[in-house]
Amino acid sequence: MATPLTADRLIAILKAEGVRVSEYSGWRTRERDDETGKPFGPVHMILNHHTGGRDALDTVAKNGVPGLPPPLAQIYLARTGVAWMCSKGRANHAGLMARNAYDSFLNESSTHPAPSKSSGTVDGNDLSYGIETENRGDGADIYPRVQYDAWVRINAAFCREYRWTAESCGCHKETSVEGKPDPRGPVEGYGTRGRFEFTPAQFRKDVAERLRHAASWSPPTTTSPTPAPAPTVEQRLTALEKRVTALEKE
């Protein structure tokens, strides 16, 4: 029952989660299902990436790279926080996943072992949604606040739709048998948190927190002061009596 979503449903769940969505021209029919003879799905997890460069939308959605035909992800998440729809079908993003790592996401384990090729491999493009997040990946390029917030929302949208936990949200470096390093780098901030380094564990915590709220929720961005408690009826009566007494003395 983890059938890939239709194009319209995909857009609907993202918008419900507060994500700004743009549709890349031709995205509804661009996929790798027919070309490989391997239909996309059933899907069991989300795989998160960084692009390794800026302005890679055309590459991910339409052009691909030598040896890797497009699309290169289902979603391209720009620095602006806009989610560009690139495909609803099979895409070339995951490569081979180590079986032990994949199983930990499939089973939504609370821990995820380092990928071990000796455990066997699965074709990650068959069974995972890929999100390519625009970032140079050099460890210095900062994920803007608005981009990280959208990233959490996109992952939560899939989890909410499929009734997955945040333990279904993986990162390429957690599954790759080729030693992929992504995603990584500093994040400008999230909610009341200032700058921090991206880690898969913190990311899943943020997705899990989001899933405890309605899709329309936004994380608080400032710590609001505790309001003074409203006066009780007795306190208000006492105050009135004092004023009356004071008036009578005049």
Closest CB 25 distance from Zn ion, rounded Å:
24
Rule CB under 5 A: choose which of 44, 90, 99, 172 binds Zn ion. Answer: 172
Q: Is 49 in the site for Zn ion (CB under 5 A)?
A: yes
> How many residues belong to the site for Zn ion (CB under 5 A)?
3
For Zn ion, the binding residues in 181-210 under the rule CB under 5 A are 182
Q: How far apart are CA 139 and CA 183, in angstroms?
A: 10
Per-state percent for the chain, helix, strand, coil, to nearest 5: 35, 20, 45
Closest CB 123 distance from Zn ion, rounded Å:
15
Residue 68 or 240 with smaller CB distance to Zn ion: 68
Closest CB 227 distance from Zn ion, rounded Å:
46
Runs of H (alpha helix) within 90-186:
99-106, 124-127, 145-162, 172-175
Residues 6 or more apart in contact with residue 72 via CB below 8 angstroms: 59, 60, 61, 64, 65, 86, 91, 92, 93, 130, 132
* From 5-13, 33-41, 44-52, 157-165, span contacting Zn ion (CB under 5 A): 44-52
β-pairing, 82-85 vs 20-23, is parallel
β-pairing, 128-133 vs 75-77, is parallel
Closest CB 21 distance from Zn ion, rounded Å:
22
* From 79-87, 105-113, 114-122, 169-177, span contacting Zn ion (CB under 5 A): 169-177
Select from 56, 106, 112, 66 the least CA-distant residue to 86. Answer: 56
Q: Is 30 in the site for Zn ion (CB under 5 A)?
A: no
Closest CB 205 distance from Zn ion, rounded Å:
21
Q: How far apart are CA 248 and CA 250, in angstroms?
A: 5
* From 136-144, 175-183, 210-218, 230-238, span contacting Zn ion (CB under 5 A): 175-183
Applying CB under 5 A, the residues found at the interface with Zn ion are: 49, 172, 182
